Structure 1
């Protein structure tokens, strides 16, 4: 009997990268991208070739010094074979997958389960399940939810219904692909299909779209409602506010057999999970979410010192998001974000600043904003950060991203930075995609089988995604093609047509490889300690007034020519008229002014004052930090470090007690996470 080879999850990822790279990819770059060894890459490439051989497909081309290449005429054949074998989402349960599956199953079944149930579900050993459940206990504890165990009756999640369900809707979108591949929770299949069809009708009648995965998740949970015997309690909610919405009327129309509390619960999900930024005006207090949006944007600007040129547009985008999200915030309904870990990794500094800014929102609504929600808001802020662009040439790019408005806007922002020659970069929902689009290139987070100009990327771009985009755009961009055509034209005098075609292809491959070595992440700048060497730090023992204190603090930046004298004067003038806004915390002033007032490049200086400096607002400062920011992003890491260190009063006390710049520099370097 012959061996039938298949592709595991990592091999699929490698093959997808190679298929859409439009050129050779080096094994080391694959290893860096997937955080594995180069040896593991070679082992996986062997497995991929075995699968290709078994399916009568062309093998990978491997050339020393160039890397690995999928033959261009083999890409569509490989994709069709992967689709036919349903390999697009081959289920490989990671430990985190298993834990989420175990939690969601307990919530869906709403009864006690035994270890044997989990073994059957995840197809792993008893010891593995026991270790999983220990991790589940730790995870649930973060949300004040208890996993109860009884030796006779098994495991059960203890908590009121709304909180317990919130965990399900937070986790299930991250394992939805396993359900869709019929590897988990298949007993409700007929009910889910029927319910999902009705939810799609509601979506059509509302003329809206919902965040990817939300309706299937809601359909699955609704299919389990006969198991749910908990009483729903929406504290302090005016039901009249909900039952007057169009969403509630449609739930009543399609799910008339549900109890009133369950109809309200489904309506809350429909109100809170829209994909489009379409205002939903069901709030009693007109303008409530708009004022919250202004407050949030203002706080982000205060913390980041990035002042948005399109502030009104950003406020409107966040307002539309909050209008739909406010219900979930208030009534404990979570919206899962399958991109959370990617956002926290790729945009760590921006995520942390957004999370800090969200504290004002939490105080306003009286409830915690989850990391999943912070991640969505991070994408909104990131999408509006200004990018300097060169003159553009005629070049149009279409983006297809069914993962939400924020993700799509962030993709557009990144691609704008990567491809400044683009004349037009358009976001389009998958439902409106048409093959006859007329764009030069299509960048999509999902595979479009018949698209000839396709670049498939992750919703949150990886380094390899960025390389692939640049490489494809180099092939397609008229200016780059013109350069290659000119070189080929010169070469035509020295070789025959057959060799000329080969030469042109080699030139394209070589050109792309030397132009695109490695693409960095979004530049959020260096750490605070990078700038605060001893020469940028001063200790002032004499008594000075606030104006002299600011001039003393700015001196290292003037000497390094990071700023001009006009920037110092601008800081002093701003202090006269704005005052309090420069106090980042008690005893701490973060002095700065607008970029155009005399910043040459990003930099920071620090001065401590043994005798506190009294400012015009009556507050005293013992530390003055001077920040010079040259754009909206390169100082964000500095600000995160400042907030980490100086948010603790003891840090300010300890730094002021130090007597030398070298000691202060060492303290800061050792206290940055």
Structure 2
């Protein structure tokens, strides 16, 4: 065997980097393959490894391991990195994803011969892939046109094209076991074959378009929007906005524009978010002579106010007293159903309901999509009462505003309710020590925020670092600190480090601790 495939190369790399036995199922998970495919590849790579003096040891019920020295590891790693004798073999799902990307980014018809050439497969294989492609588009209400002697083409609005492309590139679709594309804060838009683009023309073409998106640069534009608007998006929302705006800039550069009703564009232009949207448009395309249409700027503004956020933004409740009244009613429902009257005035719960409701209203108004991810695999993992209460909350919101939030929003509301119940139970916590060496002003600010978010916490006491280290905390149940430190091993007091401003992730951390404490029955 003189050549190996890229899949087999990845398998060899995993085995080379491991000093222990690895199970077949574990290898399958790493590679996104079936156990049978892994077993097939193991048989194929054995002679290739043997020519290099490396043995492949397979122990039934134990796993797979290489008989390899450190010198051989270095040699193999170098060879795999620089070898040109590696054959790229795409799976059907990989081909289909590349074809989908090609159709979603192309406005012209694509002929069958072109697909066979760029993918290096037969016409029969491509025609079978196109059967899946057609169904995929039909499920999204996009027409897939087959034009004799002309080629294949999709027929949809510009908005449909952009949203379908964004959700596809988001990478969490259930259509594919191993997505080729995925968004992350570290890499921006990641492409699975970015290191193998020279092996196939369609990979090179795909990678070239992805480079034009430049999502890592666009992420900075989204954080600029946060600063201008005075709030923070959720982490996923930052990534999704970056992807949406990158696609938008790419399409606008090609003179492909959206079409929205004039009254919606006028409504957005009258809002403060318009100024921020206009500033972002100038940063997305740096050509000083490029003119953005009002519709495209409006689309930026619509997206900014329609994605999930971590906190209420200035002016969020300017929608009118009707929203305040419905939120009051929802708080009463939660307090009554849980038998916790204190929940009626829980500021964190109220804010959580508000910041989940307002973006949902805007998504309904502008008919925008968002790639929600489920927090749980089954509803049984949620507290039954919380899910029932959350369902009633969603029903009330649906009736009042004619929107139907997805299941994931019901789960989010249930999580908010669970966190509020835990906070309400937290009066069984004894003494809580707060350590904040930067000064009394900062310490008092932190204390105030803790009391606002956890009103049932008792005996919050500021203690200096010296007193903590001198064991003046033996009667404390919890230490909340703004700097890292540890106590002697025999001391079982829990230490939680937080930011002086008590950020959302800090609130989640404390809530999780209280939840675990309540679950343990302490």
CA displacement 1:261-285 (0-9 Å, x = unmatched): 1111123233334664453635641
TM-score for both structures, normalised by structure 1: 0.42
1:143 Cα deviation after fit:
3.9
CA displacement 1:153-178 (0-9 Å, x = unmatched): 43333333334432222222123433
1:222 Cα deviation after fit:
1.6
For residue 269 of structure 1, the aligned residue among 295, 303, 317 is: 303
Q: Is the 1:5–1:50 contact (alpha carbons within 8 Å) kept by the matching residues of 2?
A: no
Q: Residue 348 of structure 2 corresponds to which residue in structure 1?
A: 313
1:95-106 counterparts in 2 under 5 A? 95=92, 98-99=95-96, 101-106=98-103
Q: Residue 510 of structure 2 corresponds to which residue in structure 1?
A: none
1:147-186 counterparts in 2 under 5 A? 147-174=144-171, 175-176=181-182, 177-178=190-191, 181=194, 183=203, 185-186=206-207
Pair 206,29 (structure 1): closer, same or farther in 2 beyond 3 Å: closer
1:46-57 counterparts in 2 under 5 A? none
Q: Residue 258 of structure 1 corresponds to which residue in structure 2?
A: 292
2:382 paired with 1:347: no
CA displacement 1:636-664 (0-9 Å, x = unmatched): xxxxxxxxxxxxxxxxxxxxxxxxxxxxx
Pair 4,130 (structure 1): closer, same or farther in 2 beyond 3 Å: closer
CA displacement 1:229-264 (0-9 Å, x = unmatched): 455114752133446445324225425621111111
- Listed as ranges, the gaps of 5+ residues in structure 1 are 392-421, 427-435, 441-477, 480-630, 633-673
Q: Residue 224 of structure 1 corresponds to which residue in structure 2?
A: 251
Pair 297,4 (structure 1): closer, same or farther in 2 beyond 3 Å: farther
Pair 202,171 (structure 1): closer, same or farther in 2 beyond 3 Å: closer
Q: 1 CA distance for matches of 2:160 and 2:48?
A: 46
Aligned-partner SS, 1:185: helix
Q: 2 CA distance for matches of 1:186 and 1:283?
A: 43
RMSD: 5.9
Q: Residue 335 of structure 1 corresponds to which residue in structure 2?
A: 370
2:269 paired with 1:240: yes
Q: Is the 1:242–1:267 contact (alpha carbons within 8 Å) kept by the matching residues of 2?
A: no
Q: 2 CA distance for matches of 1:196 and 1:35?
A: 26
2:129 paired with 1:132: yes
Q: Is the 2:268–2:302 contact (alpha carbons within 8 Å) kept by the matching residues of 1?
A: no
Q: Residue 452 of structure 1 corresponds to which residue in structure 2?
A: none
Q: Is the 2:46–2:56 contact (alpha carbons within 8 Å) kept by the matching residues of 1?
A: yes
2:402 paired with 1:366: yes
1:15-30 counterparts in 2 under 5 A? none
Q: Residue 146 of structure 1 corresponds to which residue in structure 2?
A: 143
Q: Is the 2:307–2:359 contact (alpha carbons within 8 Å) kept by the matching residues of 1?
A: yes
TM-score for both structures, normalised by structure 2: 0.52
1:221 Cα deviation after fit:
3.7
Higher relative contact order (CA closer than 8 Å, sequence separation 6+): 1
For residue 215 of structure 1, the aligned residue among 217, 242, 250 is: 242
Q: 1 CA distance for matches of 2:276 and 2:369?
A: 18
CA displacement 1:392-412 (0-9 Å, x = unmatched): xxxxxxxxxxxxxxxxxxxxx
Q: Residue 411 of structure 2 corresponds to which residue in structure 1?
A: 378
Q: Residue 220 of structure 2 corresponds to which residue in structure 1?
A: 200
Pair 239,228 (structure 1): closer, same or farther in 2 beyond 3 Å: same
Q: 2 CA distance for matches of 1:288 and 1:60?
A: 70
